[in-house]
Amino acid sequence: MQQPEAIVAFLLIVIVSVVAFLYALSWRVGVVTLGEKENRLDNPGQRFGNFIMNVFAQRRILAKNIGIVHFFIFWGFIFICLGEIPLLFEGLFGMKVPFLSTNPIFIMVQNVMSILVVIVLIIAAYRRWVLKPDYLYRTSEAAIIVILIFGVVITEWFSTAARLALEPNPAAAFAPAYSVIASWLAGYSKEALEKVSLFFWWVHMLILFGFLVYIPNSKHMHLLFSPFNAFFASLEPRGAQIRPMNLEDEEVTEFGVGRIEQFTWKQLLDSLSCGECGRCMDNCPANLSKKPLNPKKLLSRQLKEHMLEKGTLMLKKGLFNTGEEAADQVEKVIAADRQAAEILEKSLIGDVVTEDEIWACTTCFSCQEQCPVSNEHVAKMVDMRRYLVMMESSIAPELQLAFRNVEKNSNPWGVGWANRGEWAKDLDVKLLSDDSDVEYLYWVGCAGSFDDRAKKVATAVVEILKAAGINFAILGTEEKCCGDFIRRAGNEYLYQSLVAENVETLNGYGVKKIVTACPHCLNTLKNEYPAFGGNFEVIHHTQLINQLVGEGKLTLNKSGGAESQKVVYHDSCYLGRYQQEYVAPRAVLQMVPGMQLVEMDRNRESSFCCGAGGGRMWMEEHLGERINNMRTEQALSKNPQLISANCPFCITMLEDGVKVMGDPDAPIKVMDPAELIVKLLH
């Protein structure tokens, strides 16, 4: 039991630490509230379920094997925190806490978990400072956290063990760390043991409350914010997470995000939730191809530091984030305070994030797929692109040409709109304008209509649908670009005008079911069009082929003893990660006799982008390595006889890659699964 003056000193430490903690926390919460409003309180039951699975069950953390290290640190720390209760009361007042001080099972589990924390911390430290993977930063902050955790655990062991050596507790007999240390100390006098226990108790408490103060002021503030981020994670389909934009609101004077406070509060919360694990940067094609974009650095350093700097100043000066009154206030502060002016005049795009970083993103969704704390990266990139395109008219020349082509001819190739249905002139395909009483609309897409390579896939799909007896039609000249790349490249005005025209056409014909060979069209029609009144059942052609064969509606001729063929399959981002469809394309490929399906090292959820998404199909790669060449090299490393992909953009990018990376004397073909299936119809 402590002396009265010691208890008073302890209470002062507690009060000062808690006040400092709450003070730092309040400023960070305040900064988040400066963001734009956004409703993330819908479906509380589902959100709570996600919270339980992703926080307590650590589901997203355990998606990677190394996540087991964090799992044990997390749960070990929970037990360590529970162990603080008996340590506190016994050390201060000599009181034993029911159950926590007397239950042998709890004491054993708590002690074993603290041992596991030490072990996994050693593993984590070895990875970070010895193996030195690029995606883990070796900072003083990381070292301080490791030292503090070690300090908390070791000092608790020695304080408790010294007390056990002094007053044996049968309930702690099976606590290994306590028992071992207590046996070391058993020969010391009562007075020495009391001093040892007291010394380590005070050191422990100082470290513990120092840790409390340090957390909200360090990168480990994610311990506080990431659980909330898990609860508030988007429940929208992955392809529908780009923020809606009301272009008819006359009060809106800025479009997109050109200032940090124009992000939503959830987007700001992301930065505080980032644990800097590096999974995003280790799976980002832009980062891995040595382009300027590093999603981890963007969230955890660039945006967070600017947000805290500017947001804290705005709170202190009582500034708002929108409206004419807010603009007037900002001007007054800039005129009166030179130091504040430097912060307020710092440009989000240019001073904090470069245009090259913003345009490097392929919107492949890999960063979000890998992120264990539910951060949402892609929408931020699109929001900043919207500002560049709609407010600054800062657009790459080749992308500007694609926009103009869509404006004039409703396709990025710029081919006359009247030629959209020419690819099917000899295939006897119905037009919806001639007969709208069909089961499926075949949405051909711009690539299938105008790109010579993609036309072959479109033709194969038509032949398969006919062989299965599917009643279908196409729109022909009435079909326009779905708008996928246009929205992701920031041109929301052009995107919404296309959507309005397409939805009017589709609803006018009463379309209910759509099949398409383009995952980009699939995602946009299925996940984004409902916000504009277009509600359709949309399916990828590989999904439909798999379904038709399973139902016996499509019969394949598998006789003939086909020669064994080794094929490596590439998961497209917009069918894989966006739609979470990995089974159907593989099932279709395995229908081909003699097909030996081989997986790339980066496959399924971890598939590597071809480089064409997010409008990059229409932009040159001026920085770093070409992403398509990197993906092609990954495919060729498996020594395949054939590469298969399910997306017209992916096929184009991989074929270009084969020309550069492959053997010119033995070129390897890149084929859509439909092109292989159509050969089995005769």
What are the tens digits of pLDDT across the range 133-177?
Answer: 888 888 888 899 999 999 999 999 999 999 899 888 888 888 999
Convert the pLDDT of each residue in 244-269 to its tens digit. 999 988 888 889 999 999 999 999 99
pLDDT of residue 215: 92
Length of the chain: 682
- Looking at residues 566-573, what average pLDDT do you find? 96
Whether residue 404 is predicted with pLDDT greater than 90 in this model: the reply is yes
Name the pLDDT band for 551 (thresholds 50, 70, 90): very high
Per the CB < 8 A criterion, the answer to whether 662 and 668 are in contact is yes
Convert the pLDDT of each residue in 635-651 to its tens digit. 999 999 999 999 999 99
Whether residue 495 is predicted with pLDDT greater than 70 in this model: the reply is yes
Residues 158 and 279: their CA atoms lie apart, in Å, by 37
- Looking at residues 367-380, what average pLDDT do you find? 95
**Which secondary structure element, helix H or strand E, spans residue 440, and what is its range?**
strand 440-443
Per the CB < 8 A criterion, the answer to whether 343 and 310 are in contact is yes
- Looking at residues 260-284, what average pLDDT do you find? 94
pLDDT of residue 172: 85
Per the CB < 8 A criterion, the answer to whether 514 and 539 are in contact is yes
Name the pLDDT band for 325 (thresholds 50, 70, 90): low
Instruction: Using alpha carbons, select from 35, 458, 502, 596 the residue that is nearest to residue 269.
Output: 35
- Kindly give, in sequence order, each residue whose CB lies less than 8 Å from that of residue 463, ignoring residues fewer than 6 positions away: 427, 678, 681
Beta strands at 440-443 and 513-516: parallel, antiparallel or unpaired: parallel
Buried-state track 363-373, b at ≥16 Cβ within 10 A, e below 16: bbbbbbbbbbb
Domains annotated on the chain, with CATH: 4-33+64-217 (1.20.950), 245-390 (1.10.1060), 403-550 (3.40.50), 565-680 (3.40.50)
pLDDT of residue 2: 67
- Kindly give, in sequence order, each residue whose CB lies less than 8 Å from that of residue 32, ignoring residues fewer than 6 positions away: 265, 268, 269, 272, 311
**Which secondary structure element, helix H or strand E, spans residue 502, and what is its range?**
helix 492-508
- Kindly give, in sequence order, each residue whose CB lies less than 8 Å from that of residue 300, ignoring residues fewer than 6 positions away: 219, 271, 274, 276
Q: DSSP character for 471?
A: -
Q: C-alpha 251: how far from its chain's center?
A: 32
pTM above 0.85, yes or no: yes
Looking at per-residue pLDDT, the higher value among 198 and 682 belongs to 198
pLDDT of residue 322: 65
- Residue 656's identity, in one-letter code, is D
pLDDT of residue 324: 60
Mean pLDDT value across the chain: 92
Whether residue 562 is predicted with pLDDT greater than 60 in this model: the reply is no
Per the CB < 8 A criterion, the answer to whether 644 and 672 are in contact is yes
Whether residue 560 is predicted with pLDDT greater than 60 in this model: the reply is no
Residues 99 and 481: their CA atoms lie apart, in Å, by 67
- Residue 120's identity, in one-letter code, is V
- Looking at residues 427-440, what average pLDDT do you find? 94
Residues 289 and 624: their CA atoms lie apart, in Å, by 6
Whether residue 318 is predicted with pLDDT greater than 90 in this model: the reply is no
pLDDT above 90 as % of the chain: 76
The DSSP bridge partners found for residue 36 are: 264
Per the CB < 8 A criterion, the answer to whether 2 and 91 are in contact is yes
Q: C-alpha 182: how far from its chain's center?
A: 47
Tokens of 299: 């969230």
- Kindly give, in sequence order, each residue whose CB lies less than 8 Å from that of residue 61, ignoring residues fewer than 6 positions away: 54, 67, 70, 71, 74, 372
Per the CB < 8 A criterion, the answer to whether 610 and 569 are in contact is no
Whether residue 561 is predicted with pLDDT greater than 70 in this model: the reply is no
pLDDT of residue 99: 81
Provide the phi-psi class of 341: left if phi over 0, else alpha when psi is between -120 and 50, else beta.
Answer: alpha
Please provide the DSSP assignment of 59-126 as one string: TTGGGSTTHHHHHHHHHHHHHHHHHHHHHHHHHHH-PPPTTTTT-HHHHHHHHHHHHHHHHHHHHHHH
Residues 494 and 499: their CA atoms lie apart, in Å, by 9
Residues 609 and 566: their CA atoms lie apart, in Å, by 22
